[in-house]
A and B are shown apart, each in its own frame.
Chain A
Amino acid sequence: MASGKKRDLRVYPGFRGMTWFCMALLYAPMVVITVYSFNSIRSITTWGGFSFDWYVKAFNNPSIQQATLNSLIIAFAAATFATVLATSAAIAMIRGRSFRGQSGVFALLNLPLMIPEIVTAVATLVFFLAVGIDLGLMTVFIAHAVFCIPFAYMPISARMEGIEGYYEEAAQDLYADRWASFRYVLLPMLLPGVLSGYMLAFIISLDDFIITNMVAGPGATTLPLAIYGKVRTGFTPEINAISTIMLLISCLFVTGSYLAGRAGKRRGEQR
């Protein structure tokens, strides 16, 4: 297919090398910390054998356990809230004619993405204290729920745009009212996007540090906060263990979100 001349043209010396360097840069730190988390002895230079000891130690710690629980509760709650709102918003934005102020609404929906996280963090803190809400788990939940909306919105709206309008027209034509059309036709077709959005929102919440750091009250420590606290006092292998777990969960959810989005696209292409 490609002539020898053309192949020569597209290849630049050093580009391949730079790509591998880039990949190494991106993955090395995560790989390294994972490897060390399994080192049975607490040494940088010697390998003491494969062991889960640090994992056991880390998660036997009650404060870590509490932090994990908090993180999961908030992530589930925030992701659910954000996904429901984002789905509702996506349906309104994408179905039907464009309306006045649509780009304004779009900007608002994506606002959390455009503001630097530290600004969002202090603004939320200021707001809570000014209004008189005590810092605690609830404040973290609220902050996360808002922040996750655009992340849920992205895959859902992408999926929505891929669904042709005639399916809902057919549903209406066949005597379905608005709710039945949504429940029996749109939602099932939208599901891969909703799932993808949920997983993205979940992991964004689970991983968040900056905002959580600002608005968490006592007793509302999340896993990232716990890790940060521990790192400040010095590196221990437990930190490696917890970090590896979080890396794993992140990767899993991101991959899951990506696959869910792809499955939806593939299904939509069969016609």
Chain B
Amino acid sequence: MSDRDETASAVEIRNVVKVYGTGPGAVRALADVSLDIRDNEFFTLLGPSGCGKTTLLRIIAGFEQLTGGRVFLFGDEIEGLPPNRRPVNTVFQHYALFPHMTVAENVAFALRRLKKPEDEVRTRVGEMLELVKMSALAGRRPAQLSGGQQQRVALARALAPHPKVLLLDEPLSALDLKLRHTMRVELKQLQEETGITFIFVTHDQEEALTMSDRIAVMSDGEVQQVGKAEDIYERPINRFVADFIGETNFLGVTVESILGNRATCKMADGFAIECDAVGAPPPGAAAHVSVRPEKMTLAAPGDGGPACRVKRLVYLGTDTHYKVALADGAEVTVRVQNAHETSISFRPGDAAMLRFDAGAAKFLVD
């Protein structure tokens, strides 16, 4: 993913609040969400179900009205506009293809509603079907298409009227695994080809990591962290993000001293480790650090790292996951790539030593 220059915001979301109902039974779907989505960006809203990502998408589309805050599209405030007057189009989770129309008629729908001349409609429909490789099936009805094909038509239909922003509401969730992988690549390519801002909603973190320029991790109606995939993965801000994206281990430590970008901490069994000082509490405080499993490795017992005992292992071919117990009983997962001839060096019950680089352990805001 190349670096993008700071272009104007495609979509600016400022302090958006969404509450359903009133009184004690009111549900707060979004609490003070602010985001800045750039032009020509593949932006993903990632989070578990109920976190508010779909609500936010629907507010941008115009299907929900916000309770508070403002939304801007290329500088213009869009809140007062109904969906049919926003230059924004949506790919729905269940595709919502009109069952009584053919593929071509579906794709032509928006253009016809905009009263475009018929030859322009025909040309554009042809272009779009070419783009998603569905030209041969133009005369079919949606019921005659497979899930993947329906999704392509839904894409073509949403892109046909030249939207400024394309919203995608978990479009891949109904597809089977292999198709999903294929479509991820196609969607990414589509975004790069068309240059349109894509706002993508998903609960699948792998999808988010592979496709996005930037990701906003959401939970409970709030944005937990925004950033590039690498930033979010390597430097999770808090426990939720660290746990939601990929796997991580939490180690309980007490801070001893801080020097430059390293914080020396003591683990439960007294062993001292060097942590990344970013976000470290003052010396004397107790805290948790997160260490990714793949940042660790196992070695024969010694002084280089905390002592542990192997409890069980899972052999995955490419790597081996070891579940080890520390001296205080805490369980840690270690992911060791099977790069050498002997894949499994430790067996359950063996004593071993944890090793990881200085700075691999990161502090989190709880």
Residues of chain A whose beta carbon lies under 8 Å from any beta carbon of chain B: 164, 166-167, 169-177, 180, 184-185, 188-189, 267-268, 270-271
Contact = CB atoms under 8 A, between A and B. Distances in A.
B173 interface: no
Given A167-B96, A175-B161, A189-B100, 11 more contacts: A166-B96, A169-B83, A169-B90, A173-B63, A174-B113, A174-B157, A174-B161, A175-B113, A184-B109, A188-B100, A189-B99
Contacts of B96: 164, 166-167, 169-170
A35 to B, nearest CB: 44
B114 interface: yes
A263 to B, nearest CB: 12
Contacts of B63: 169, 172-173
A189 B99 CA distance: 8
A248 to B, nearest CB: 32
7 contacts: A169-B83, A172-B62, A173-B62, A173-B63, A173-B158, A174-B110, A189-B98
Nearest to B98: A185
Nearest to A181: B84
B37 interface: no
B94 A172 contact: no
Nearest to B141: A270
Which secondary structure dominates where chain A touches chain B? helix
B327 interface: no
Interface of B: 61-63, 82-85, 88-90, 92, 94, 96, 98-100, 109-110, 113-114, 142-143, 157-158, 161
B61 A270 contact: no
A211 B287 CA distance: 82
Contacts of B82: 172
Nearest to A170: B96
A175 to B, nearest CB: 4
- A170, A184, A185, A271: which has the most chain B beta carbons within 10 Å? A170
Given A166-B92, A270-B143, A174 B100 contact: no
Given A175-B161, A176-B113, A166 B84 contact: no
**Which residue of A164, A176, A188 has the most chain B CB atoms within 10 A of its CB atom?**
A176
A166 B63 CA distance: 10
Nearest to A267: B99
B84 A170 contact: no
Contact of B94 (A175, A267, A271): A271
Contacts of A177: 84, 113
Given A169-B63, A189-B100, A174 B109 contact: yes
A221 B92 CA distance: 56
A1 to B, nearest CB: 30
Contacts of B158: 173-174
B365 to A, nearest CB: 38
A267 B98 CA distance: 11
Nearest to A167: B96
A180 B110 CA distance: 11
Given A166-B94, A173-B89, A175-B113, A270 B99 contact: yes
B196 to A, nearest CB: 15
B158 to A, nearest CB: 8
A267 B90 CA distance: 24
Given A175-B84, A175-B110, A180-B113, A170 B143 contact: no
A176 B113 CA distance: 6
Given A184-B109, A270-B143, A271-B143, A172 B99 contact: no
B98 A173 contact: no
Contacts of B110: 174-175
Contacts of B92: 166, 169-170
A185 B82 CA distance: 18
Contacts of A166: 92, 94, 96
B84 A173 contact: yes
A170 B114 contact: no
A240 to B, nearest CB: 45
A173 B61 contact: yes
A180 B83 CA distance: 14
B291 to A, nearest CB: 43
A172 B161 CA distance: 13
A95 B351 CA distance: 65
In the A-B complex, list the 5 residue pairs whose CB atoms are closest, starting with the nearest. A270-B143, A174-B110, A170-B96, A175-B113, A172-B83
